[in-house]
Amino acid sequence: MSEPRKPAEEYVVIRHRPGYRLRRTLILLVFSVVAAVGGYAAGLAQGGFRFSSVENSRDQLEQEVEDLRAKYRDASQQLTNLERGRTIDQQALNQTRKTIVDLETQIASLKADLTFYQNIMAPSETSKGLQVDRLSLQSGRDENDYGFKLVLTQVGNNKSYISGVVAVNVIGMRSDEKEVIALRDLSGDIDDLGVKFRFRYFQDIEGQLELPSDFQPMEVQVVARSEGRKSAQAERTFNWVELTEN
């Protein structure tokens, strides 16, 4: 009698893909960051920071900063592990570096917003009342077109609304002579020399402006004046080159 036949041995071939697990981990990390930033942007789009409690906005920003710091530490550790590994592909390494750059940018932006709210709620003795907080310019499609955003704040005493007007002038040179041009004459979004404002914590004034082709801007002068029994005035001059470089 012949011996029973043994079943043939079977082999399974598994494709070796270096860095696959790490790439998958990195993708999940990126999605987490995008979700966090998306939630933050949605809050801004819905006016949450503008109309809700400033204290709650500040606490939320602090939590956002802490969460991003934790993700940043994780990404930094991933980068260290990838740089030490010898068999990890370059794609995973580049993705980790990009993730770290994105996190650094988001952390810097959240810190700036957090400082903004902290200054409103806990100002120094020399910076209370109506303030010209910031002015930013964004280059448009054409060489002389810019988007502008002016932020006014009421620092310290936020129990009541503050109202008044703010005037913005662009100072520069044309035909070798100094010239001052009101924002109203540069922007179709502004109708009056003095733009009216009314707010409790802060207010944004935004729009587009177009400079004359033969005009060389040097400075932007902002003068805000509040009305009422405790009228006040805040002035600030911005360097044009610094505005357009940021």
What is the number of other CB atoms lying within 10 angstroms of the CB of residue 22? 19
Tell me the angle at which helices 20-45 and 90-121 cross, rounded to the nearest 10 degrees.
30
Residue 206 clears pLDDT 50, i.e. is over it: yes
Nearest to 65 by CA among 37, 84, 96: 37
Q: How many Å from the N-terminal Cα to the C-terminal Cα in the chain?
A: 92
pLDDT in tens, 222-235: 999 998 777 888 89
SS3 29: helix
Residue 156 sits at φ, ψ, to 5 deg, of 95, -80
C-beta separation of 131 from 234 below 8 A: yes
Identify which has the larger pLDDT, 212 or 157: 212
Nearest to 148 by CA among 208, 236, 194: 208
Confidence of residue 40 (pLDDT cuts 50, 70, 90): low
pLDDT mean across residues, the chain: 76
Identify which has the larger pLDDT, 235 or 127: 235
Residue 24 clears pLDDT 60, i.e. is over it: no
Alpha helix positions (H), 46-143: 48-51, 54-84, 90-121
What is the number of other CB atoms lying within 10 angstroms of the CB of residue 160? 10
Q: Is the pTM of this model over 0.75?
A: no
Q: What is the pLDDT of residue 147?
A: 93
Q: What is the pLDDT of residue 51?
A: 40
Q: What are the structure tokens assigned to 169, written together?
A: 């002038």
In the chain, residues under CATH classification 1.10.132 are 20-121
Please count the residues of the chain.
246
In the chain, residues under CATH classification 2.60.40.1400 are 129-245
CATH code for 129-245? Answer: 2.60.40.1400
Q: Give the whole-number percent of the chain exceeding pLDDT 90.
A: 26
Measured over all CA atoms, what is the biggest interatomic distance in the chain, rounded to whole angstroms? 117
The rounded distance, in Å, linking the Cα atoms of 141 and 4 is 83
pLDDT in tens, 45-60: 444 444 445 667 777 7
Q: What is the pLDDT of residue 13?
A: 46
CATH architecture group of domain 20-121: Orthogonal Bundle (1.10)
Q: What is the pLDDT of residue 116?
A: 65
The rounded distance, in Å, linking the Cα atoms of 242 and 218 is 10
Mean pLDDT of 158-170: 87
